[in-house]
Amino acid sequence: MPTYDLKADQLPNMDGGLFRSVRATTRDITIPVLIRGVDRTSALKLHNRLLRSLSPHRGPGWLTVTEGDGISRHLTCYYQSGAEGSESQDGGGFTRIKYPLVFRAMDPYWYSNAERQHDWHLTEGAAKPFLSSNDYPDFFPLRISSSSFSPDGLVEVANDSSVDAWPVWTCSGRAEGLTLENVTTGKSFRMLDDFIIQSGQTVTIDTRPGIKSVMAADGENLWPRMKADSALWRLEPGRNLVRVTAGGTTATTLVRLHYVPRYLSYVGG
């Protein structure tokens, strides 16, 4: 579990406090590492290679945990400390070096290695299989398609985590006044009625925290083309009913939702 920061107001002349808010903080993870070489030269080569890889100036890395059932989850983190070195007898030797490496994850949640995907097509003939089939190399990423925009373009999206997930949308082909709505939460975001996604054009709507963008394939910022009451909504844990509506669609129109579930731990929800 991540560590939580709880905010509360102390009550005058009364016991306890009044809860205000909660947020998950960054998390530190310590991984003991033992470098062992066949001789001093090979041990130092491994040591130097590890140090170069750990540099936070090179960006974050993935800490991946795989259970016995083959399911993997990863945590994006930076090296923080631990490789300063130790002169103690337990900390190293002529052909071995031992480190307790400390990594810091700015996002405290574990992410699935399998992306979930849902497609909306205009015609049944253009739709992909309702579930992933033998045409795909693996069952994941899970692909679910509705046969058309009707009835009501409504699809059930199941977020199997106890943490919310932030989807990325792509729309290609012709579509007018595109509306993406989470019926479960009542949130939606809409393009202006006079905005038309032309055939051959692709629009990407990224709702992820720290990104929050609406972009055309050529890099044009399409925020001004969104309605003022739009909300880049998230997928709640569990069942979400998602509706996609648009006018002027053709057989090549495709709206795709894809997201990566987030989890409190590398096992369970």
Give 127: exposed, middle or buried? Use CB within 10 Å, 0-12, 13-18, 19+: middle
Q: What is the pTM of this model?
A: 0.77
Query: How is residue 171 written in tokens?
Result: 């729309």
What is the DSSP secondary structure assignment for residue 124, as one 8-state letter? G
Q: What is the rounded CA–CA span in Å between residue 138 and residue 143? A: 11
pLDDT digits (tens), the chain, 269 positions: 889 999 999 988 888 899 999 999 999 999 999 889 899 899 889 989 988 999 999 999 999 998 887 788 999 999 999 888 766 666 667 888 888 899 999 999 999 888 888 888 754 443 344 444 444 344 444 444 433 444 456 788 888 888 999 999 999 888 888 889 999 999 999 988 888 888 888 999 999 988 899 999 888 899 899 898 889 999 999 999 998 888 888 888 888 999 999 999 888 77
On whether the CB atoms of residues 29 and 75 are closer than 8 A, the answer is yes
Amino acid at 54: L
DSSP 224-261: GGB-TT-----BPSEEEEEEEEEES--TT-EEEEEE--
Query: How is residue 174 written in tokens?
Result: 């012709």
Domains of the chain as residue ranges with CATH: 4-108 (2.40.30.200), 113-263 (2.60.120.860)
Residue 254: CB atoms within 10 Å? 20
Listed residue (79, 82, 75) closest to 58, CA to CA: 79
Kindly report the backbone phi and psi dihedral angles of residue 212, in degrees, each rounded to the nearest multiple of 5, phi listed first.
Answer: 45, 75
Beta bridge partners of 191: 226
